[in-house]
Amino acid sequence: MQFYKEKLLSPGQLKRLNEHKYSCTSVSLMDPFLQPWWNWLVSKVPLWLAPNAITVLGLAVNILTTLILVWYSPDAKTEAPRWACLLCALGLFVYQSLDAIDGKQARRTGTQSPLGELFDHGCDSISTVFVALSACIAVQLGYYPTWMFFQCFCAMTLFYCAHWQTYVSGTLRFGKVDVTEAQFTIMGIHIISGIFGPSIWMTELPYINTEVKVFPLWAAVGIAVLLAQSSVSVILVGGVGKNGSTVAGTSVLSPIIPFSFVVVPAFIIYRKSAENVYENHPALYILAFGMVAAKVTNRLVVAHMTKNEMQYLDTALIGPAMLFLNQYFNFFIKEYYVLWLCLIWVTLDLLRYCSQVCLEICDHLKIMLFRIPTGGHRIGTSQTSTITEKNVHMVVEQEPLLDEEYHHGSDTSLNL
């Protein structure tokens, strides 16, 4: 039964999505050391638990723990309770672990398909916003609003660039220092804030007269530059389409336009605000524009997997347009209220888009999003068999052979 009227994906796109094959390369430094933990953890997961449910559970935990931190420090200046920082570290660890095993669960239950990859990346795009925001609050970066703006939007941009180069080259690439390393670094920041208090980052070091927080900030800048350089090199010369174009045959530079419609207005509105809406409510501001960035990133992932051209304009941009028009008409409505309307609009729009795309894919493949078929399961697109403990042990034992094709659960898992 369909609950939507106008379809977002054409029959051609659905056909190409069904034919999509996940391609990934990873040389992560930490992943090999974490594989035993991930393999043990997935072996304890019941077979009836759908991989997509694992993904959503991890995302929910990460969002909840971050929102607790936001509740106590919405301006990123107020010192949050130490237990909230430790809870945020735990929430990120839970999310990272569950995100790493959803693909493994899909393989051990034989429920692989492109929908799992799409679902996983969609959740990651949302999580990126909350992880970056929580790190800024943990070090009280609200005292340096420009730095906070840069750090949060830098994280969103790097995530977008990772999928931009995938749209160009057809392969998702992870370097030696990438997602896993960044996540554990942020966990370390939360743990330090939890043990010594967030004010530890405001401590001024003797002799050099520099606050402690400067070191993780500049380290983040250095890593960002390296990752950006890697993505740009692939984007400019790695096109696999005709004449070096994207997988969809479009210009390799075309994805910069939709994302610029997010970042540029965010910066202009921040700088032009007479009520200092960003400085006074940075968490709310980052979440509002972060959801817009997540929506645009999701559309890029869909464009890559369906080998389709990415549209420049998006309904999520109506949210930032509210703020822009309110400024244009001399702040007819208090900016704080407009910012809340923006957040509500873009969040609902993101949820609508993601749910409708998933429903259309499920309807096309005749599958269910959060259930594993009882008595049997899909393997690929045509084979069925029964889940047995013998099959499970064989999959777990073979995991090391699959690691080159896997990163953070983002494989071709159906994640039913």
Tens-of-pLDDT digits for all 416 residues of the chain?
444 457 888 999 999 988 888 888 888 889 999 999 999 999 999 998 989 999 999 999 999 999 999 999 999 999 999 999 999 999 999 999 999 999 899 888 888 778 888 889 999 999 999 999 999 999 999 999 999 999 999 999 999 999 999 999 999 988 888 889 999 999 999 999 999 999 999 888 877 778 888 888 888 888 888 888 888 888 988 888 888 899 999 999 999 999 999 999 999 999 999 889 999 999 999 999 999 999 999 999 999 999 999 988 899 999 999 999 988 887 778 999 999 999 999 999 999 999 999 999 888 877 777 777 664 444 333 333 344 444 444 444 444 434 333 444 444 333 43
* Angle, alpha carbons 395-396-398 (nearest 5°): 65
- H or E, element range at 378: strand 377-379
24-26/172-174 β-pairing:
parallel
Side-chain-side CA neighbours of 74 within 13 Å: the count stands at: 8
Which amino acid is residue 258, in one-letter code? P
CB 235 within 8 A of CB 228: no
- Position 258 scores a pLDDT of 94
Domain boundaries, the chain: 13-370
DSSP conformation letters of 256-315? HHHHHHHHHHHHHHHHH-TT-HHHHSHHHHHHHHHHHHHHHHHHHHHHHHTT-PPPS--G
Q: List, by residue number, the catalytic residues.
A: 121
CB 296 within 8 A of CB 258: yes
- Position 321 scores a pLDDT of 93
- Position 373 scores a pLDDT of 67
Please state the pTM of the whole predicted model: 0.88
